[in-house]
Structure 1
Amino acid sequence: MKAKDTTNIWLDIGKAAEVLGLSVQTVKKQCRKGSFVFKIIKRGKQSHYFIHLKSLPDFAQDKYSGEKISDKKYSEAPNWAKEQAEKYLPILKASNGLKGEALKDFINKWNNENTEELRTSYSSLIKMRRRFFRYGISGLLSKHGQHLTGSTVPDNYFEYFKNLYLVEGAPSLRTCWDLTLGYAIRMLDAKRETFPSFMAFKRRLDKEVPKQSIYLARMGETAWNRKYGGYIERDYSNIICNEVWVSDHAQIDVACFDSDNKVVFPWVTVWRDYKSGKWLGWILQSGNPNSDHIFQSFYYAAEKYGLPKDVIIDNGKDYRSKDFAGGSRSIKISTNKTKTQS
């Protein structure tokens, strides 16, 4: 019997939802996410979705065409991959129709009567039921899909896609996929119907390029270092409260009106205790922070809590001023000796 040619078959969304076992709305959402190859045809004021058959999972193609693609995959699978399927086939058959407490009772009885290798759990059995329903017997194979087929994205498409996506400030993954599709149609005579889906590109990218490498390429070294860069944790065990202070500026993400009735996002300059994190002295201002704000907030902290033994400051310009780094200017702060020693 001659096999059906499925290279250019488009299913209306109702039929696609039927073979997928999903609602029409869910299929539409998956289309917009790039899970399937689809097209929209306007008929009057209504938009009709059509989905390319070859972009659907194998189990859906099986249902539509009547062919057993999944069974063929099982027969071609290595023996080590079949062991899991051979374990679950009798369990699925024996537990057919059971659910809830009845299924849990069956699992307990099964586990008591069988060896460790044949035992299962409620969550594992539910997962295998779902796989068996969707993919047939090949869904029960160990690591289904990872050793049976490679990526559907050809190397030349993928290299062009990476050159677009893995660049600092590059557009979104979906936009890069659209650009790759346009390039393939113009330069390589590709067809929209057989072009790999957006999700196929994403899966290959996630599989071949580490997450940190993607972040570095797209966000830059500074952003990567803040998120993934190595660091050494400080040892707080030998530090006594109020002996070491730290200071920094931060802009508050709250819009306010200043004295001139202008909208501003105020800055806060803070000195806090390094050990406990307690705020000791701070000052709010609408303009850009400077060394005067640093000293004013330090004065508030020292007046109330006394002087610290050490301070930790960053390498900002205002903290590198002569007032902190050394110079002729001197700052006198009157403090309560009792508070300093407490």
Structure 2
Amino acid sequence: METLTLQELAELKGCHRVRIQQLVTEGFYKSVQVKNSRGRLVHAIPLDQLTEEEQQKYYQSKGILNTKIEVQNAEKLELMSTEEREECVFWENVINEWQSFRNKENARNKSEVDELFITKMKLEHPELNISTSILYRKFKALKNGDLEGLIDKRGKAKKGYTKIDEHVWQVFLSFLLDQAKHPLRKCYQYTQLYIQNKAPELYEDIPAYCTFTRHVKSDIPDAILTLGRDGDKAFDDRCAPYIRRTYDNMDSNDYWIGDNHTIDVIVGDGEKTFRLYLTAFMDARSGIMTCIYITDTPSSQASIYSLRRGIKKYGIPKNVYLDNGREFLTFDFGGSGHRKKKKDEDKFTPPPILERLGINMVNALVRNAKAKIIERRFLDFKNSISRLFATYTGGNVVEKPEILKVELKNGNIPEKQAFIKEIEELIEYYLNYEEYNGAVAADKGKRKIDVYQENLHTKTTATEEQLNLMMLRSTRAQKVTRRGVSLKIGGTQLDYFNNELIMQMLNKKVYLRYDPDDLSKVRVYDLDDRFIMEVESDNVAVLEYGASKDEVKLAMAKTRELKKVAKEAIKDSIIANIDRNTALELLLKSAKDNKDSDVSKPNYDLEILNADEKPMLYKVHDVDLDKMNINSIKRQGGDYYA
């Protein structure tokens, strides 16, 4: 503890020693007893009882630098490494200790004291390079606020550094920051060749290859390398700042995120094995899957079925967040989104289903790696559910279990319909009931389904009839012909016709809305989206087989298959040189033979009757329209003037 005698404090404050004694008596200072140079106990005042200005004045009078004095150019600390900062602190402590050591009262010869202090430091720090001149130089640097003067820079100025000419470096970067992704060594070789041809005077001064690699690692930021060598998308995905979505102020049903997922389980239907697809929508606020539909192939129809299921149970969302797949961006479901082309802007398109439901569609940026947050839920589905089944395939070859072949050989294959039922139950009543692990800290520990219910403040619903009407599929615009209007399903054209439609709308453009599960009728709308009428199908034969879209497709597939088999059977059964002409020749010969052999005579009386039938339509004489108009005017009491 540093102290001042009463006399030293009086000299420092510029007053008499008696005044200091008086201040001690009054309790302004608290004195302590210390031994003086003669070993006697005297009263002294601890230095920390003085003001900062008085302490600074004391240190200056002793020639000691106060470590609390603000150092000039302190901002240079930010440019130093951790090691350099530690070196500054070390030398600051050494200098202060040295000054205290040499300014003690019993120190008579300063030079001897300095030598003793240097010896002491060498014993405590054998690796330290220290001398009297170094101490004075460090002291001067610290006193002047020159922090860099405290750092030993010997060998550091050029350590790991070789100068590369600016023009040479730019040439090297031109080859390096190219999306061809030339290897670094090739960039170096190309640089040598370029300089040799374009600037030969710089060729001899090109440093070694390792110098360039060192500068690439130390001088080129990763963001620049990524943008230059991998392009804009890679930069956006890996380096660009991203927008953090906030969920605290979001309600349930504000946003549903939709996507498709290939289920990593092989199932069967008795004839073949395959994998199914899950079309799902996830509520962004709670993380529950609101819409579930399992299908053989992702399609816009599967998206509609999935959305319809979710709406019936959870209500209509305000927004849906979709990627740019064709199963979502079809013209009559969500619209074209980013797929819309300029040439289609003037073409008529019916209002899509999402618009009729009042749902705003938000599309992810094309090929945006940060957009698919529902993929996390699909990963949960894979790890929690898909792995439970014997025929789990894994998401890739690396994940594929070795036992899969054995399970398939033994026939341990889930049956399709039973599998679908189990998956729907597990998603609805297992995954949706798991603990919430989203971004809102206040909801941690709750079940997802409870988070959904707590944050559902408004639920928009629709009756079954309204939902049926709003979720009908649409066609593009078509002209009403003499055969009415038509749908093309699975390569088959279904016609819809009635007299009223032909009489009122012939050659006018309309579009149709239809239910894929009931193709027996369609609803006809004009291009201003006004309902005209409902028209029944004219394809009785097709509808007798089956009225749904899938059934029509299946029927056509079976018809084509049967036709192929029949053709093969005919080909195997006929003689190649017998054709249609052969049959004709046979019939002609038979007719000739019958003619030649017919020698019979009639054995009845012939009676000819006069036909007195009158035609239904009589010939109408020419009509004098002028005469008819004159008579009409006279009958109504008017006068006619020629």
TM-score by length of 2: 0.26
Greater Rg over alpha carbons, structure: 2
TM-score by length of 1: 0.44
Q: Greater RCO between the two (CA within 8 Å, min separation 6)? A: 1
